[in-house]
Amino acid sequence: MTLWIIAGSLAMFMVPALLNSIGKKMEPGTWAKLVTASLVSGAFLFEFGFLLISAPPILSFIGFSNLAAICRHMLGDLSPLGAPLAVGAVAVSIFVPISIFIHLSTTRRAVRASRIEFGVGSHSLLQCGSSLVILPESRAFGVSIPGEPDQIIVSQGLIDSLDGEELEMVCDHEAAHLRLKHSKYLTLCAAFDSTFRFNPVVKVSTKVLRVALERWADETAAGDSLEKRLKLRSALISVALIPQGKYLATFSKVEGLMERIEALEAHSSHPFLLWWLVLLMPGITFTSISGVVINSWGTQMYCALSMASHC
C-alpha cells in the first residue's frame, strides 16, 4: 500500500504535463491553480509515503518498539527490500521537507535582493500603487518584484524598443503578476525544481505552471479588447528572446512563447464538460483514496492503542 502511495505521488506530478493540451484550452488562472494543486498533492503524497516507510525504524530507534510493532502490524510490510530501503526512506523523509523549506527561503531572499534601491535608476509611483523603475540598460527587459512597494522594473532598452501603447501593456502585464501574487507560485516552482530534480517530470510540470502564469497575466492585462491583445502580442514578439531569471515574474520568457502568442490572437476557449471531468479526476481520485485509507488506518490505530492500554 505504501509503495502505491509513492507511485500515486509520481502520477500527480505527471498530471500537468500529460493534460496540458487540455488545460491550455481553459482559463489560464483556473489551469494554474489546478496545476499547483496537483504538484502540492504529489509532494504531500511523496513525503507521506516515505514517512510511513520510515516510521517503524524511527520509532524503534527512539525506544518505542511496541509502537513500531503496532505500525508494522497495522500497515503491513512497509520495507519490502529490508533495512536498506528503510534507511533510505528515513533519509528521504527528512530531506524533502528540509529541502523545500531551504529553497523557499533562498528564493524569497533572492527576490528581495533583486529589488532596486532608490538612487539607482528612475523611480516613479504608478496609479496601481506599484513603483515604476527605469534602469539605464540597453538590453530590453521587464520584470516585477513584490515588496513595499511592489516594483515594476523596465530597461531603457525596452522603452526604446516599444511604442507607448506596447509599453503600457507590458506594465499592465507586470502589474497583473503583482496583483495576482504570482511570485508565490514561482517560488514554489523553484523549490520543487530543486528538491525533486531527480524526477524530470516535475520540471516539465513546473514549466507548464510558469506558462500558465504568464498567460494568466496576459489575459488579465489585455482582457477582451482585441486592440490590447494585439498590442501585447506585438510587445511580446519584440522582446521575447531576452533571457530572464527563473524565479521572477518576467514579461519576455521564451517558455510557452508560441502558446502565449496564439492565445492572444484569439480568446481562450473552454473545454467540454467531459474534459473538465478528465482534469478533475486525478484530484477526486486522490481525495477519495486518501479519505478511505486514512479512515481505515485511523480505526486500526485506535483499536491497536486501545488493546495496548489493556495489556
For residue range 148-205, list pLDDT tens digits in order: 889 999 989 889 888 889 899 999 999 999 999 999 999 999 999 999 998 899 999 9
pLDDT of residue 283: 61
| Dist CA 206 CA 185 (whole Å) | 9
CA angle, corner 16, sides to 11 and 20, nearest 5? 135
How many separate helices (H) and strands (E) can be counted in the chain?
12, 5
C-alpha cell at 205: 510540470
| Dist CA 247 CA 255 (whole Å) | 13
One-letter identity of residue 178: L
pTM of the model: 0.80
pLDDT of residue 57: 62
pLDDT averaged over consecutive 10-residue blocks of the chain (311 residues)? 74 88 85 91 86 66 58 53 63 89 92 87 85 88 88 89 88 92 93 92 93 92 88 82 52 66 70 58 64 59 53 47
Phi, psi dihedral angles at 25 (to 5 degrees) = -85, -10
| Dist CA 35 CA 17 (whole Å) | 9
Question: CA dist 103 to 98, 209, 214, 247, Å?
Answer: 9, 18, 22, 11
- What would the DSSP string read from start to end of 138-154? SS--EEEE-SSS-EEEE
| Dist CA 96 CA 162 (whole Å) | 44
C-alpha cell at 295: 479512515
C-alpha cell at 201: 517530470
Helix, strand, or coil (residue 124): strand
pLDDT of residue 311: 47
pLDDT of residue 277: 59
